[in-house]
């Protein structure tokens, strides 16, 4: 075909039909390409390749409006030079491309060299050939980009080619909308994920563990150091001392924090169920095994497995556990395939494992495998100075659960500090919840503590355990100490002798007796 003269009659009609056929074929393939992937840039490059091969359009270019920068950036370009579009942008209204965006209308150039507003920044287009650009829209709104290309010949079919570009631009617009919707949803999910991670780390981090005593500072230092590594940890301590909190803190402050944290109480299951729980089972391995099931080790792959009450497992099962701790390998119950996992193990126990090793009840090799990094949790009676902070923390926790304001008085705290707490923090938590239930006004004082079952009279007669001077010294002139608390504090300091308490408060015996009566303070008889 002669590019300088239109083709007359039937020859022109044949060219038009031939172009239409190639465009229909290209359109079908373009729609297939756009439906295959959500990677917008890669998809657009493939679309431009199809149009070059099948649609009779050279150097296709898709430029999209940057929401951040407010200018047109080239998102895809069909060229052999992968860096041709680097650092090239168009302002709205600038040149032909910018004008198509701002006018939101197609622009057909019969010959590029005749249009002075054409900015040949890419250096790809033949100045003697036509150029067509159409806006990319999201629905019926304003343009969000420009789709442009150069026909390979100058003929009388530019209008047909422009309509074809508009059809492709509509498909591109739908792909852009879908990609942006998916990206927005993914961004929202990422933000939600990051928020949940921050909340989980805050909930299970060091701030959730109360303690300022030397014993607890040692625990914190050990946790901070061991959290960095994959070392096996054995947490020792009485029931109720917070061993699981320490396991949480180790995991969520470790490089494995983004992976799973799986927990299992070894004392809750017999050997046969414990093996299935830890290692999983194959379908049909035993009655009731209707499907394959992953065990806790598989679930924790790449993360951390917390084995609570590890001292309760039987010697028969200890050998099976030892293998997976040494080699990281195991088989599912009923299976013959060896599975390998990468799991950090944190174990906890309240038992004297050393004594059990000597008695032959706990395997020595398993003991040494677990006891790589021991952390001992002190009993609550060994950290009496932490009781006020713990009690206030637990009262705030119950307050959120009950949806009302709760507070605890200093006199109640002094009583709590005289109890030996054999049940440790768990017992203290239960006591605070009972006290909240028994407190109609939301103020937990010594009288409310007595209603929880603690023998307040007996505790009040005992001296306060040895604590730093700042804990046992009471400032009776503290403006934040209300009148009732001030009188109770003086009575406690004076061993409930009114005359001594009166001297502490610079009162007469008659004045303090009057206040005891009007403030409804129950005197303790010893």
Q: Which of 363, 378, 393 is where one domain is finished?
A: 378
**Statement to judge: residues 358 and 250 lie in one domain:** yes
Most confident of 275-289, 411-425, 484-498: 411-425
Rounded mean pLDDT, 62-89: 85
Distance CA 522, CA 234 (A): 47
* Count of CA atoms in the C-beta half-sphere (13 A) of 522: 11
Q: Does a structural domain hold residue 199?
A: no
Q: Which is higher by pLDDT, 3 or 20?
A: 20
Distance CA 358, CA 438 (A): 48
Residue 334 has pLDDT above 90, yes or no: no
What's the confidence (pLDDT) of residue 206? 64
Rounded mean pLDDT, 514-519: 81
Rounded mean pLDDT, 381-404: 92
Mean pLDDT (the chain, rounded): 86
Length of the chain: 526
Question: Where residue 231 sits, what CATH number does that domain have?
Answer: 3.40.50.300
**Statement to judge: residues 231 and 162 lie in one domain:** no
What's the confidence (pLDDT) of residue 2? 45
Q: Report pLDDT digits (tens) over 406-450.
A: 999 988 898 899 898 999 999 999 999 999 999 988 999 888 988
What's the confidence (pLDDT) of residue 27? 83
Looking at the structure of the chain, the number of domains it has is 4
Residue 219 has pLDDT above 60, yes or no: yes
Q: Does a structural domain hold residue 359?
A: yes
Helices (H), 8-136: 9-34, 40-53, 95-103
What's the confidence (pLDDT) of residue 365? 93
Distance CA 242, CA 239 (A): 8
**Statement to judge: residues 223 and 173 lie in one domain:** no
Question: Where residue 480 sits, what CATH number does that domain have?
Answer: 1.10.10.60
Q: Which of 335, 351, 378 is where one domain is finished?
A: 378
**Statement to judge: residues 210 and 64 lie in one domain:** no
Question: Where residue 410 sits, what CATH number does that domain have?
Answer: 1.10.8.60
Rounded mean pLDDT, 468-496: 69
pLDDT-based confidence at 7, cuts 50/70/90? very low
Residue 522 has pLDDT above 50, yes or no: yes
What's the confidence (pLDDT) of residue 165? 92
H or E stretch at 163: helix 158-204
Distance CA 35, CA 49 (A): 16
Residue 53 has pLDDT above 90, yes or no: no
What's the confidence (pLDDT) of residue 114? 93
**Statement to judge: residues 42 and 144 lie in one domain:** yes
Longest dimension (CA), the chain: 126
Most confident of 52-56, 157-161, 350-354, 520-524: 350-354
Domain that holds residue 138: 9-182
**Statement to judge: residues 395 and 525 lie in one domain:** no
What's the confidence (pLDDT) of residue 154? 85
- Burial of 456 from C-beta contacts in 10 A (0-12 / 13-18 / 19+): buried
Q: Does a structural domain hold residue 252?
A: yes
Q: Does a structural domain hold residue 353?
A: yes
512 alpha carbon, distance to own chain's centre: 57
**Statement to judge: residues 483 and 443 lie in one domain:** no
Q: Does a structural domain hold residue 54?
A: yes
Q: Report pLDDT digits (tens) over 173-210.
A: 989 988 888 888 988 888 887 777 667 666 666 666 88
- Kind of pairing between the strands at 89-90 and 143-150: unpaired
Q: Report pLDDT digits (tens) over 104-121.
A: 999 999 999 999 999 988
Q: Does a structural domain hold residue 190?
A: no
Distance CA 136, CA 421 (A): 72
Q: Which is higher by pLDDT, 488 or 146?
A: 146
**Statement to judge: residues 305 and 355 lie in one domain:** yes
- Kind of pairing between the strands at 304-308 and 72-77: unpaired
Q: Does a structural domain hold residue 194?
A: no
**Statement to judge: residues 300 and 347 lie in one domain:** yes
Rounded mean pLDDT, 222-251: 93
Question: Where residue 112 sits, what CATH number does that domain have?
Answer: 3.30.450.40
Q: Does a structural domain hold residue 4?
A: no
What's the confidence (pLDDT) of residue 241? 92
**Statement to judge: residues 85 and 140 lie in one domain:** yes
- Contact (Cβ atoms closer than 8 angstroms) between residue 416 and residue 435: no
Q: In this structure, how many other beta carbons lie within 10 angstroms of the beta carbon of residue 134? A: 27
Q: In this structure, how many other beta carbons lie within 10 angstroms of the beta carbon of residue 138? A: 14
pLDDT-based confidence at 327, cuts 50/70/90? confident
| End-to-end Cα, the chain, rounded Å | 120
Rounded mean pLDDT, 149-168: 90
**Statement to judge: residues 371 and 390 lie in one domain:** no
Q: What are the angstrom distances between the C-alpha of 186 and each of 96, 180, 189, 461?
A: 35, 10, 5, 63
Q: Which of 426, 444, 466 is where one domain is finished?
A: 466
Copy the structure tokens of residue 263: 């927990």
What's the confidence (pLDDT) of residue 3? 45
**Statement to judge: residues 167 and 54 lie in one domain:** yes
What's the confidence (pLDDT) of residue 435? 94
What's the confidence (pLDDT) of residue 101? 93
Q: Which is higher by pLDDT, 290 or 1?
A: 290
């Amino acid at each position: 075909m002669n590019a300088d003269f239109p083709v007359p009659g039937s020859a022109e009609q044949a060219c038009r039909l031939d172009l239409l056929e190639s465009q229909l074929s290209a359109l079908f393939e373009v729609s297939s390409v756009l439906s295959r992937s959500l990677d917008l840039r890669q998809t657009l490059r493939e679309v431009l390749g199809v149009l070059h091969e099948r649609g009779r359009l050279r150097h296709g270019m898709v430029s999209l409006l940057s929401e951040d920068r407010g200018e047109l950036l080239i998102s895809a370009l069909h060229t052999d030079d992968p860096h041709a579009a680097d650092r090239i942008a168009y302002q709205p209204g600038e040149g032909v491309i910018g004008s198509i965006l701002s006018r939101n209308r197609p622009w057909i150039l019969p010959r590029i060299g005749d249009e002075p507003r054409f900015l040949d920044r890419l250096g790809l287009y033949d100045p003697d050939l036509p150029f067509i650009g159409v806006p990319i829209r999201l629905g019926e709104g304003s343009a969000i980009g420009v789709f442009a290309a150069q026909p390979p010949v100058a003929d009388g079919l530019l209008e047909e080619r422009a309509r074809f570009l508009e059809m492709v631009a509509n498909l591109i617009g739908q792909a852009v909308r879908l990609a942006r919707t998916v990206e927005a949803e993914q961004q929202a999910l990422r933000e939600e994920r990051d928020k949940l991670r921050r909340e989980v780390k805050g909930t299970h981090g060091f701030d959730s563990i109360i303690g300022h005593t030397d014993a607890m500072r040692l625990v914190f230092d050990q946790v901070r150091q061991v959290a960095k590594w994959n070392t096996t940890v054995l947490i020792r301590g009485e029931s109720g001392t917070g061993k699981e909190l320490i396991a949480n803190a180790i995991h969520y402050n470790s490089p494995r924090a983004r992976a799973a944290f799986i927990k299992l109480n070894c004392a809750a299951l017999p050997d046969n169920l414990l093996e299935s729980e830890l290692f999983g089972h194959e379908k049909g391995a035993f009655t009731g095994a209707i499907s394959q099931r992953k065990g806790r080790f598989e679930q924790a792959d790449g993360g951390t497995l917390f084995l609570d009450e590890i001292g309760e497992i039987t010697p028969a099962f200890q050998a099976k556990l030892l293998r997976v701790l040494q080699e990281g390998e195991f088989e599912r119950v009923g299976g013959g395939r060896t599975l390998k996992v990468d799991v950090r193990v944190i174990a906890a126990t309240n038992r004297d494992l050393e004594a059990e090793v000597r008695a032959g009840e706990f395997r020595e090799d398993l003991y040494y495998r677990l006891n790589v990094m021991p952390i001992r949790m002190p009993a609550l009676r060994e950290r009496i100075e932490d009781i006020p902070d713990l009690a206030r923390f637990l009262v705030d926790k119950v307050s959120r659960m009950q949806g009302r304001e709760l507070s605890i008085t200093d006199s109640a705290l002094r009583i709590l500090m005289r109890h030996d707490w054999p049940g440790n923090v768990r017992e203290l938590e239960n006591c605070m919840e009972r006290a909240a239930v028994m407190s109609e006004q939301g103020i937990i004082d010594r009288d409310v503590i007595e209603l929880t079952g603690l023998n307040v009279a007996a505790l009040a007669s005992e001296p306060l355990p040895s604590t730093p001077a700042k804990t046992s010294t009471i400032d009776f002139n503290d403006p934040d100490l209300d009148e009732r608390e001030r009188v109770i504090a003086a009575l406690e300091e004076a061993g409930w002798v009114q005359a001594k308490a009166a001297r502490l408060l610079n009162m007469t015996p008659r004045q303090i007796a009057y206040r005891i009566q009007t403030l409804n303070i129950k005197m303790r008889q010893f």
